[in-house]
Chain A
């Protein structure tokens, strides 16, 4: 990616198209006489995503197929958080979910970095925490309280894991490493 826009066949005559200025109708520059939508490319300054494994050089195995390569190609800077850091990862070991180091700027070791979401192959969604989040998200005051407790009042990632990731999950992860 990194191109300025891409054509999309579809969306003609929708209110979605009418209300967005990053997608417009454009005639075929090659003269077929047909028009398509062209969607303006997103060029994020920074992309951050969580993966299963990364190595010290910045090669990444997402763990399952996701659009991480496209995201990494589109963004100027790429920060990856990983469940585990290994010595060396090759594309062969991560078929379908490999992001090469040339696209990655930084790797951060962050076990349970997807919490309370799931990291497929490591742990599932923390349903109790998600229920708490959903309840808190209902109004501004309770949401502010949630953010304070789970984000601003936490000293760092280790403290977050200690406080909010279920104990049995942490123990299971320790035994996986040992």
Chain B
């Protein structure tokens, strides 16, 4: 049997979709193409009763950000997806700015308040980054847009769950407050991950290989999710040039 061919975006979407739980509320924000595909894929496969919210698309139960804000504050959001320009060992991410001097950043990004609240209140959050290099995975982010852990005397409704990249999956060790390498995507090796990650991987010895996409996952992603994204205007142009290509 020949190995299935797929691209990084498809693989990340499939890995994300496996984390969606049936019957739970899962959501992704604006400009979240890969998580949007993941949520639609989950709903079309193992999680038909998952409530999914894709902000700024037709897949949303309500119209205003206030309603989403309070859904999160009530602790009703099960799973959310976030990305960052930088992600560090403590699962802090940076969506704001680069450079050692916070007053004089070398580059600025859109930032965002939403993630800074949702990361604390969604039961589980998956961080993802399509570039897995030492410039994106750093020991300490230049600016904390959201923190992986909080002091015990504050309210934290949920925690980082995983970090998914085109090369590997990290899990979050809540007690230690750090990321630990969970599995490596074939054909990458532990050394590849070490070479491309700016922090200690938190593992001794061998790690698992990430399960590859199944034929059925790829089929549904390409034959059900892709046309659905195009016909509903849900990142249609992205789906057209990314999924099944």
Could you list which residues of chain A lie within 8 angstroms of chain B, going by C-beta atoms?
8-17, 19, 25, 33-36, 64-67, 70, 96-97
Contacting pair A96 B154 (CB below 8 A)? no
A67 contacts B64, C-beta separation under 8 Å: yes
| Nearest CB of B to A165, in Å | 25
- A12 CB contacts on chain B under 8 angstroms: 120, 147, 150-151, 154, 156
Asked if A10 and B64 make an inter-chain contact with CB atoms under 8 angstroms apart, the answer reads no
A15 touches B102 (CB 8 A): yes
Q: Are A14 and B147 in contact (CB under 8 A)?
A: yes
The B interface is mostly helix, strand or loop, or mixed, namely loop
Q: Are B66 and A10 in contact (CB-based, < 8 A)?
A: no
The answer to whether A65 and B119 touch (CB under 8 A), given A16-B113, A16-B145, is no
A8 contacts which chain B residues (CB < 8 A)?
73, 117
A14 near B144 with CB under 8 A, answer yes
Contacts of A97 in B (CB 8 A): 63
Asked whether any CB of chain A lies closer than 8 Å to the CB of B65, the reply is yes
Chain A residues in 8 Å Cβ range of B144? 13-16
Binding site for A on B (CB under 8 A): 62-66, 73, 96, 102, 111, 113, 116-121, 143-147, 149-151, 153-157
The answer to whether B65 touches A14 (Cβ under 8 A) is: no
Partner of A16 from B62, B96, B121 at Cβ < 8 Å? B96
By the criterion CB–CB under 8 Å, are A14 and B146 in contact? Answer: yes
Once the chains are docked, how many angstroms separate the CA of A10 from the CA of B117? Answer: 4
Q: Kindly state the separation between the CA atoms of A14 and B141 in the bound complex, as whole angstroms.
A: 11
State in angstroms the CA–CA spacing of A13 and B147 once bound together: 6
Q: List the A side residues contacting B153 at CB < 8 Å.
A: 33-35
The answer to whether A36 touches B63, judged by C-beta atoms less than 8 angstroms apart, is no
What residues on B are CB-neighbors of A13 within 8 Å? 144, 147, 149-151
A11 to B144 alpha-carbon distance, docked (Å):
10
Min CB distance B245 to A, Å, is 26
Q: Are A11 and B65 in contact (CB under 8 A)?
A: no
Cross-chain contact A10 with B143 (CB below 8 angstroms): no
B159 CB to nearest chain A CB (Å): 13
User: Which residue from chain A places its CB closest to the CB of B114 in the assembled complex?
Assistant: A10
Closest 3 CB pairs of A and B: A65-B63, A10-B117, A13-B147
CB pair B66 A15 closer than 8 Å: no
